[in-house]
Amino acid sequence: MSGTILLTGPNGGIGVGFVTQLLKSPYAITHSAIYAVRDPEKALALKAALKNAPKGHKYLILPVDFESLASTRAFAADVNSRVKSGSLPPIQALILNAGVQDLVIEKFTKDGMERTFQINYLANFQLTLLLLKSMDKQHGRIIYISSTAADPNWGSNGRNYTEDQKRTIVTSVENMSRGVEEFPDGSVFRTGQRRYALSKLLLGGWMYEIQRRLDGDSKLSNISVLGHDPGWIGGTSIIRNGPFLVKALFVILRIIGFINSFFSANSLVRTIYRNGSDLLRVCFDQKAFGEYPKALYIDGSVLYHTPKEAQDVEMQKRLWKESLVCAGIKEGDTVLENWK
Ligand SMILES: NC(=O)c1ccc[n+]([C@@H]2O[C@H](COP(=O)([O-])OP(=O)(O)OC[C@H]3O[C@@H](n4cnc5c(N)ncnc54)[C@H](OP(=O)(O)O)[C@@H]3O)[C@@H](O)[C@H]2O)c1
């Protein structure tokens, strides 16, 4: 087997954990890699990890800013032209890992959208459709990175919602892209958690809809779409826009993750390296999840399920249609037959 592995957010904690495990695996040589970063000059953690690359690891570090629909589109066009020219093999694993969580401030993108919505959800929707022409048609896998936060009924997540808010989590794409309107109770921290949770919940709904459309496509039906929940991983930068106490918790989680890695097979608190190995299996393993693992959701290394709020088929269809408009997808952008 050969192919390209495209990883977004490779300069962050989870990204570096994946790259580290990739470089120790046979795929470092059999496969090419595209590392999609915000700024190649500043991708220092990624470059440090790549110092351990085996001789023969072929990779490109390419720029993209998922806060911008135009930048995402330009990045996809660059990748597509490289695959079309044969300078890169088709993409076998597209890992949608880049993400943000704004807990002390609400930020808006260059396109005027609330940025958790755009970076964590809409950019992935857009990028995937644009890149389908470059996917490996036999064994391509598209993997989004989820979170325990996605389920409003998981653990203590419920305290972030009133019962009414739980019932109305997924509204129109236009509303959700504006961010604040849905969360009127004034707590920046809780609204930030809900915005983050929402972005991951939407990816769950998207997974089912795109998988159905791929399954019905004459050329793309072997492509799999999967969700991967990394559990809780301290020491990453995801809470860089979070309160001091959450940052302190992330330091403690890093230590707990390290201890857990000696004792527990699939603990809630993990390390970036443990997660890197799990994610590598989600990309390539054909035994645990089958040769064509369609719309599966994996928690660490174990088959799990999306939140029930992501499983509403009517919601998935509406989300798809409205996201097409919001992401500016037009005729000729995607090879998916039934894209409208
Ligand atoms: N850590 C956890 O406990 C946890 C749990 C569940 C899910 N996750 C998910 O795991 C993924 C990775 O998170 P992490 O914990 O590794 O956090 P992280 O260290 O902050 O990594 C996030 C990565 O996303 C990139 N990114 C952010 N905004 C971007 C943009 N506009 N354009 C391009 N790239 C952008 C960052 O780029 P820069 O390097 O340029 O900043 C960074 O490399 C996220 O999707 C997160 O939601 C994390």
pLDDT at 185: 64
> 216 CA distance to ligand 1 centroid (A)?
32
Q: Checking DSSP bridges between strand 3-8 and strand 232-233, what pairing results, if any? A: unpaired
Q: How many domains does the chain have?
A: 1
Would you say the CB of residue 238 lies under 6 angstroms from ligand 1? Answer: yes
Instruction: Compare 237 and 179 and report the one with higher pLDDT.
Output: 237
- Examine residue 338 and state whether it is found in any structural domain, yes or no: no
CATH at residue 123: 3.40.50.720
Would you say the CB of residue 98 lies under 6 angstroms from ligand 1? Answer: yes
Would you say the CB of residue 123 lies under 6 angstroms from ligand 1? Answer: no
Residue 297 has pLDDT above 90, yes or no: yes
> 193 CA distance to ligand 1 centroid (A)?
15
Residues 128-149, mean pLDDT to the nearest whole number = 98
pLDDT at 181: 52
Residue 8 Cα: closest atom of ligand 1: 34
- Examine residue 333 and state whether it is found in any structural domain, yes or no: no
Would you say the CB of residue 145 lies under 6 angstroms from ligand 1? Answer: yes
Residue-averaged pLDDT of the chain: 95
pLDDT at 154: 92
pLDDT in tens, 185-208: 667 888 899 999 999 999 999 999
pLDDT at 161: 87
- Examine residue 331 and state whether it is found in any structural domain, yes or no: no
Indicate the top mutation candidate among 237, 273, 278 to test ligand 1's pocket, ranked by most ligand atoms within 8 A of CB: 237
- Examine residue 335 and state whether it is found in any structural domain, yes or no: no
Q: What's the rounded Cα separation, in Å, for the pair 160 and 139?
A: 39
- Examine residue 332 and state whether it is found in any structural domain, yes or no: no
pLDDT in tens, 89-103: 999 999 999 999 999
> 78 CA distance to ligand 1 centroid (A)?
22
Indicate the top mutation candidate among 38, 67, 95, 267 to test ligand 1's pocket, ranked by most ligand atoms within 8 A of CB: 38
pLDDT at 182: 55
- Examine residue 47 and state whether it is found in any structural domain, yes or no: yes
Q: Quick one: what percent of the chain has pLDDT higher than 70?
A: 98
Would you say the CB of residue 230 lies under 6 angstroms from ligand 1? Answer: yes
Indicate the top mutation candidate among 6, 14, 247 to test ligand 1's pocket, ranked by most ligand atoms within 8 A of CB: 14
Q: Quick one: what percent of the chain has pLDDT higher than 90?
A: 89
Would you say the CB of residue 13 lies under 6 angstroms from ligand 1? Answer: yes
pLDDT at 118: 98
Q: Which residue's CA is the nearest one to ligand 1's atom 6?
A: 147
Q: What's the rounded Cα separation, in Å, for the pair 24 and 135?
A: 24
> 45 CA distance to ligand 1 centroid (A)?
13
The residues facing 91 across adjacent strands are 4, 135
Domain, as residue range, for 223: 3-326
* CB-CB neighbours of 241 under 10 Å: 18
Residues in the chain: 340
Closest C-alpha among 19, 226, 34 to residue 140:
226
pLDDT at 180: 62
pLDDT at 159: 87
Residue 322 has pLDDT above 60, yes or no: yes
pLDDT at 183: 53
- Examine residue 101 and state whether it is found in any structural domain, yes or no: yes
* Predicted confidence band of residue 323 (pLDDT cuts 50, 70, 90): very high
Residue 179 has pLDDT above 60, yes or no: yes
* Amino acid identity, position 181: E
Q: Which residue's CA is the nearest one to ligand 1's atom 35?
A: 98
* Predicted confidence band of residue 184 (pLDDT cuts 50, 70, 90): low
291 CB-contact burial (10 Å; exposed 0-12 / middle 13-18 / buried 19+)? exposed
pLDDT at 57: 97
- Examine residue 334 and state whether it is found in any structural domain, yes or no: no
Residue 266 has pLDDT above 90, yes or no: yes
> 10 CA distance to ligand 1 centroid (A)?
8
Residues 211-224, mean pLDDT to the nearest whole number = 98
